[in-house]
Amino acid sequence: MWERGNMRILFFLFFLLIAPYAVAGKFSDYVGTYWPYDSGQCGTTILFGKSHPDLKLNGVCIPASAVIDTKRKKLIPLAIAEMKNPQRLDEMIQIMMARSLPTEAYRVEIEDYTDDIFVLVDGSVLKKTDYGYVGYLGFQEDAILFQDGNDWNLCVDGDMFEVELLSEGSAYYGRDSIDGKSAGEIESLDICG
């Protein structure tokens, strides 16, 4: 009887000591994420015969092999969420799925920019609603206007700005539609930075 009680206590202590280090989840297992060692450091991964340090991101270690693998790299945010805050995992999945759907987007040209107001060649007027320095814009500077959820963004010269659409110009003049691209794909273009 005493041994059975000791075994329960031992099992309970084992569970308390090991549970925080356990990684049990489909995304973290697939990506290979793990908690840092007691020293706070991450390990290394052997790639092409050379040792490469693993990346530490938001307190979670990411194997170097996952960073260069395009399939696993896309799942890193979900793996981190799964380890750090599993209650928000469903929300993160919904956000990532929404960002992967095609969005409304256009190639446009900026005719004028003054006091946080962009005037496009097609006659549209946009107001910059976030912080950030726009800098010098050339004559009819190329830009991309796209919707991300309920927000509109304007990418120009390697920067992205949140904007409010004050008035819409002609969709037939000075505006080319970008079809089939998601907000995430557009943000990865050079013009967005």
Q: Supply the pLDDT for residue 64.
A: 93
Task: Please state, in angstroms and rounded to a whole number, the distance separating the CA atoms of residues 159 and 143.
Answer: 10
The confidence score (pLDDT) of residue 7 equals 46
pLDDT at residue 34 in the model: 95
**Which tens digits make up the pLDDT trace of 76-91?**
999 999 999 888 888 8
Q: Distance between CA 13 and CA 57 in Å, rounded?
A: 30
Q: Is the pLDDT of residue 2 over 80?
A: no
At residue 171, the pLDDT reads 63
**pLDDT tens-digit series, residues 121-173:** 999 999 999 888 888 888 889 999 999 888 999 999 999 999 999 998 876 67
- Position 41 scores a pLDDT of 94
Give the model's pLDDT for residue 6: 45
**Dihedral of the alpha carbons of 89, 91, 94, 99, in degrees to the nearest 10:** -100
Question: For residue 159, what are its two tokens?
Answer: 């920067």
Q: Mind listing the pLDDT tens digit for each residue in 59-77?
A: 999 999 998 888 888 889 9
d(CA 185, CA 87): 27
pLDDT at 46: 92
Using the predicted structure, report yes or no on whether residue 13 has a pLDDT greater than 80: no
> Is it the case that residue 1 has pLDDT exceeding 50?
no
What pLDDT score was predicted for residue 110?
A: 93
What is the pTM (predicted TM-score) of this model? Answer: 0.56
The per-residue pLDDT for 172 is 66
Parse the chain into domains and list their residue ranges: 2-100, 105-192
